[in-house]
Structure 1
Amino acid sequence: MRDAETVTFGGSALDRAAELRGEPDLLERARRDGAGQSVLLWRGKPLVRAGTLGRLARLPLDHPVLADSGIKGLLLGREDDGSLVFVHDLSGWWNPPDVIEAELNQFRDATEQRHPDLPQTLVFAELRRIMTRLSPRDAELAAIAKGLTGWHAIHGFCARCGAPSRIVQAGWQRHCDACGGQHFPRTDPVVIMLILHGNSVLMGRSPGWPEGMYSLLAGFIEPGETIEAAVRREVFEESGIRVGDVQYLASQPWVFPASLMLGCIGEALSDAITIDPLEIEHAMWVPREEIAAAFAGQHPTLAPARPGAIAHFLLRNWLADTMD
């Protein structure tokens, strides 16, 4: 698919500077030399410029607020000008008094948080809400930062022996001194499918989604399973539809919390839908004309997949006949 790398969170060609990860004093040297900056997270929400929310904030490495972060100095990569970009996470110590926990990081979290020690022109905002406003580079940095800090937040102990592990390799590995175990950030592969039958596409919705919102079917790949087999299994489990030919189209890192979405197109061999209510709430065949109306905001009941998500990306390319 020729436009595959224009998907949100991909295509900025960030240099991850992996050869620098083994240098233990990298953060201190970058701070001393003024050769780097840091992005900042709070509970997975990146710090961005208030107002348009379209620019990822970068702080100098000697900014006082960075000293109080729990997870600090993880290397994200190297900018085109040679400067290094790190991430610091304030989730562990800063707790705004007006936060409503139930709203945070939900499907439509519109809350913004301002840190008292930072300019009030900067806010923490939910990444899915702002992802299409960010530049490709800012979006990629924010996704890496969220995924990496999120993994460390729940992997503080060795999975082999249970002892505390420590961060090494500039954040890209954890080491257990007790048993020697080495642990690396994980990514869970997920297939998401544009399943076609004639001029229609198979759409489904999960419980709790906003009213009228439908998306493409998706599911995790199981151990020992190919991408193609996962597409066929997931579609049949969720909708009862048998799928024949399957082709890979594009991928998207989806750090909510740790998935790699593998976009595929498949040919339906049947059209009778029988949903599994434990998997999805509803599924239906939607003609191309109705998808076009939904994208234009003119459909009376159907809302398209979230802009920025690979489902929206695949559907848009299908409508434009740019799948090859």
Structure 2
Amino acid sequence: MKHAETVTFGGSALDRAAELRGDAEAVAARVAEGAVEVILLWRGKLLVHAPELERLVRLPADHPVLADATMPPVLLGRDESGRLLMAQDISGWVPEALDEAEINRFLDTSLQQHPGLPDDTAFAELRRIMTRLSARDAELGATAKAIAGWHVSHRFCARCGAESRMIMSGWQRSCDACGGQHFPRTDPVVIMLITRGNRTLLGRSPGWPEGMYSCLAGFVEPGETIEAAVRREVFEEAGIHVGQVDYVASQPWAFPSSLMFGCRGEALDEDIRIDPEEIDDAIWVSKEDVMAAFAGQNPGILPARKGAIAHFLLRNWLADTMD
């Protein structure tokens, strides 16, 4: 597919400046020169310009709010002007009247404004804003969220249990106790558009909004190919056998740390037998019904979340642009 990298979070060609990750002196010199901008996170949410929520805020590296950072800066890359881009996290800050239930909803629409930052900025959940951001800001946001989340969940050495420390500008953790070296984790996940004639197989997970359906998906297991994972997951979840499997596109999905491999597969049968431990429901849906759902004219089906690779796969299936 020629436009595979147009999927959300892909295609911005960010220069990640990997050669600078181990050169602390060079990075410090750029900070001293004022040639560094910082993207700020709070509990996985990104600081954006409000009320539009269309652009990430880039702070100077000496901004006073960064004194409250809960981890050292992570080098994300370098922009076209040569400025370095870093991410920092201030999750230790507790907003007044914080509604924990709201920020843990399926779709968090709440905004948090820090008193030490301009009034026209706010922290917003990435899934809410991902389709509003430019390709570059989307890639930066997903990278910042994923790497910050990894540091939070991997503070301790998996070999000996001692607390490790960040090195290589945030792209490695080192354990001084046993010498273990740890690198950011990305979990491979297959997500598949399974078709049979004019219909596609959609499913829903428990806890999703009423009527929401999407492509089936699941984690790739050790020792397994992408194609084998597609066939196994579809059979486990819906009891459908799959023949030909083709790769379509990939999407970094920082919720918390996955790489989605979008595939297309041909069903060999159509008798659905769901595993209730895996999914809540599965149905065959025609192109016409999916098109109506996308247009908001199918009251029985809510389409996959816009910006997710499932939406990308379904949209291209409808447009006959899968090749």
Alignment TM-score, normalising by the size of structure 1:
0.98
List per-residue Cα deviations over 1:126-176 (Å, max 9, x = no partner): 000000000000000000000000000111111101111110000000001
Q: Please name the residue that 1:204 is paired with.
A: 203
Q: Please name the residue that 1:80 is paired with.
A: 80
Q: Please name the residue that 2:250 is paired with.
A: 251
Secondary structure of the 2:72 match is: strand
CA distance in 2 between partners of 1:31 and 1:116 (Å): 25
Q: Displacement of 1:106 after TM fit?
A: 3.1
- Find out whether 1:296 has 2:295 as its counterpart: yes
- Find out whether 1:3 has 2:20 as its counterpart: no
Secondary structure of the 1:285 match is: strand
Q: Displacement of 1:30 after TM fit?
A: 2.1
CA distance in 1 between partners of 2:155 and 2:43 (Å): 16
CA distance in 2 between partners of 1:45 and 1:26 (Å): 29
CA distance in 1 between partners of 2:26 and 2:43 (Å): 25
Q: Please name the residue that 2:234 is paired with.
A: 235
CA distance in 2 between partners of 1:132 and 1:27 (Å): 32
CA distance in 2 between partners of 1:29 and 1:152 (Å): 25
Unpaired runs of 5+ in structure 2? none
Which runs of structure 2 are paired with 1:127-276 in the superposition (5 Å)?
A: 127-276=126-275
- Flag as ranges the 4+ runs of structure 1 deviating above 6 A: none
Secondary structure of the 1:158 match is: coil
Q: Displacement of 1:103 after TM fit?
A: 2.0
- Does structure 2 conserve the Cα–Cα contact (< 8 Å) formed by 1:66 and 1:72? no
Q: Please name the residue that 1:312 is paired with.
A: 311
Aligned residues: 323
CA distance in 1 between partners of 2:110 and 2:270 (Å): 42
Which runs of structure 2 are paired with 1:97-112 in the superposition (5 Å)?
A: 97-112=96-111
Using a 3 Å threshold, how does the CA distance of structure 1 residues 105 and 18 change in structure 2: closer, same or farther? farther
Q: Please name the residue that 1:60 is paired with.
A: 60
CA distance in 1 between partners of 2:36 and 2:322 (Å): 39
Q: Displacement of 1:202 after TM fit?
A: 0.2
List per-residue Cα deviations over 1:189-221 (Å, max 9, x = no partner): 000000001100000001111111100000000
- Find out whether 1:35 has 2:35 as its counterpart: yes
Secondary structure of the 1:30 match is: helix
Q: Identity over aligned residues, as a percent?
A: 67
Using a 3 Å threshold, how does the CA distance of structure 1 residues 152 and 26 change in structure 2: closer, same or farther? farther
CA distance in 2 between partners of 1:21 and 1:273 (Å): 50
CA distance in 2 between partners of 1:27 and 1:210 (Å): 45
Secondary structure of the 2:87 match is: strand
Using a 3 Å threshold, how does the CA distance of structure 1 residues 25 and 65 change in structure 2: closer, same or farther? farther
Unpaired runs of 5+ in structure 1? none
Q: Please name the residue that 2:121 is paired with.
A: 122
Amino acid at match of 2:33: D
Deviates more, 1:96-105 or 1:258-267: 96-105
List per-residue Cα deviations over 1:77-123 (Å, max 9, x = no partner): 010111100001001x2011211112224321011000010011000
Alignment TM-score, normalising by the size of structure 2:
0.99
Report the aligned-residue RMSD: 0.9
